[in-house]
């Protein structure tokens, strides 16, 4: 298999003309698109409808070019979008393509696989059942990607469902027990269940540690590669697994680093070193950077401190803490990577070290860099 990565700037969730123009130019075959991950300018919370709007726009475009009904497209291709491009961040999409053929150069090369869990019933969202279903899907994706060693998995993006206030009230009236008592809590627990599922599949936790009593409690348990979001626009967990495999062809490879806290700029420089990139050579000229895509998962430290000093993110009644942390960490990452098109997502419960997170980048192999 041969992988390729294409990143496009968005002006709004309905304007996907950059991708349409790339298809018209022959830069990529829409029939080879296997996943799309992106950032929208919405608020990233329960009522962020920009995510569903972008999904619909892309499904219609791909369907138009492939002859496949858009309703079928969204069942085949994970469209995983995170709202919120605060500060200097730019709305964008990263399109992943995979096609048969190509000759491996024998080096670790970006491998891509996707998977879907079954539709998750109301009572499963945010609990152990969602985690187990996610683990099964991640294992299936590893097999599809021809990755045997979990150490070769560097990023697992999951989008799972959450419950609205109305759905919670309806379930309660019907005698159905649901995880969390509010829509915001449902979003958080869905992310947590997904993260535990990734950790279980990759051997980062044991099955006897998969206990709902540890959700949002024991933060020593986490996945070092999971990036989990939740929203009302999906009914199952959609999974995009990225890693390196010597069986794949392509001009990219991937790596990741844990972030100890929101100021861990060293993790970004360490990541560049892992990818054989000299930060002094990075350029802001479109198409010239060796970085094909970058992803950050971060969290406002729930202890209210950063390196011993208090922060106010958890106490702001005017702005959700996720919006604060995306803007703060996004600015640091953009400065180091010389690009504002970075997938920065909040809600990092059990995803990377507590109070920190994960930074991941896909880069072109040295001899393939412009």
Tens digit of each residue's pLDDT (9 = 90 or more) over 192-204? 999 999 999 999 9
Q: Is the per-residue pLDDT at 214 higher than 90?
A: yes
Give yes or no for a contact between 152 and 245, defined as CB atoms under 8 angstroms apart: yes
Dihedral sign (CA 211, 214, 215, 218):
negative
Task: Name the helix (H) or strand (E) containing 282.
Answer: none
Structure tokens at 15: 């304007």
* DSSP-assigned states of every residue in 89-145: ---EEEEEEEES-----SS-EEEEEEEEPPPPPGGGTTSHHHHHHHHHHHHHHHHHT
CA distance linking residue 342 with residue 328, whole number of Å: 13
pTM of the model: 0.94
Q: Which tens digits make up the pLDDT trace of 97-115?
A: 999 988 899 999 999 999 9
Tally Cβ neighbours within 10 Å of residue 319: 12
Mean pLDDT (the chain) is 94
Burial class (CB in 10 A: 0-12, 13-18, 19+), 185: middle
Q: What are phi and psi of 112, to 5 degrees?
A: -130, 135
pLDDT of res. 16:
94
Q: Is the per-residue pLDDT at 302 higher than 70?
A: yes
Q: Is the per-residue pLDDT at 368 higher than 60?
A: no
Q: What percent of the chain has pLDDT over 90?
A: 87
Residues with active-site annotation: 159, 229
Give yes or no for a contact between 125 and 163, defined as CB atoms under 8 angstroms apart: yes
**What is the three-class DSSP state of 240?**
strand
pLDDT of res. 11:
87
How far CA 128 is from CA of 77, 161, 194, 344, in Å, comes to 25, 14, 9, 27
Q: Which tens digits make up the pLDDT trace of 254-270?
A: 999 999 999 999 999 99
Q: Which tens digits make up the pLDDT trace of 43-74?
A: 888 888 898 899 999 999 999 999 999 999 99
* pLDDT level of residue 369 (50, 70, 90 thresholds): very low
């Amino acid at each position: 298999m041969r992988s390729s990565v294409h990143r496009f700037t968005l002006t709004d969730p309905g304007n996907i003309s950059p991708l349409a123009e790339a298809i018209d130019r022959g830069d990529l075959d829409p029939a080879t698109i296997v996943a799309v991950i992106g950032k929208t300018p919405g608020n990233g919370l329960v009522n962020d409808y920009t995510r569903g709007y972008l999904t619909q726009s892309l499904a219609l475009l791909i369907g138009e070019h492939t002859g496949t009904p858009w309703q079928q497209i969204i069942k085949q291709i994970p469209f995983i979008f995170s709202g919120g491009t605060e500060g200097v961040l730019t709305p964008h999409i990263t399109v992943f393509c995979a096609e048969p053929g190509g000759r491996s150069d024998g080096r670790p090369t970006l491998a891509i696989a996707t998977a879907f869990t079954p539709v998750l019933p109301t009572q499963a969202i945010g609990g152990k059942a969602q985690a187990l279903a996610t683990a099964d899907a991640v294992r299936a994706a590893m097999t599809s990607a021809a990755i045997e060693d979990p150490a070769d998995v560097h990023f697992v993006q999951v989008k799972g469902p959450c419950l609205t206030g109305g759905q919670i009230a309806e379930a309660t009236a019907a005698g159905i027990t649901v995880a969390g008592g509010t829509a915001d809590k449902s979003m958080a627990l869905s992310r947590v269940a997904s993260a535990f599922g990734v950790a279980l599949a990759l051997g980062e936790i044991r099955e006897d540690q998969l206990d709902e009593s540890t959700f949002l409690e024991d933060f020593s348990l986490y996945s070092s590669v999971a990036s989990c979001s939740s929203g009302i626009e999906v009914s199952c967990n959609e999974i995009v697994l990225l890693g390196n495999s010597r069986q794949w062809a392509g001009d990219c490879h991937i790596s990741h680093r844990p972030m100890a806290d929101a100021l861990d700029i060293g993790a970004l420089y360490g990541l560049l070193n892992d990818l054989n990139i000299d930060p002094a050579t990075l350029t802001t000229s479109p198409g010239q950077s060796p970085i094909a895509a970058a992803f950050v998962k971060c969290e406002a430290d729930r202890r209210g401190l950063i390196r011993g000093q208090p922060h106010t993110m958890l106490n702001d009644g005017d702005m959700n803490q996720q919006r604060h942390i995306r803007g703060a960490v996004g600015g640091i990452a953009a400065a180091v990577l010389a690009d504002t098109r970075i997938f920065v997502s909040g809600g990092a419960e059990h995803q990377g070290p507590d109070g920190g997170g994960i930074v991941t980048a896909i880069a072109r192999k040295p001899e393939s860099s412009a």
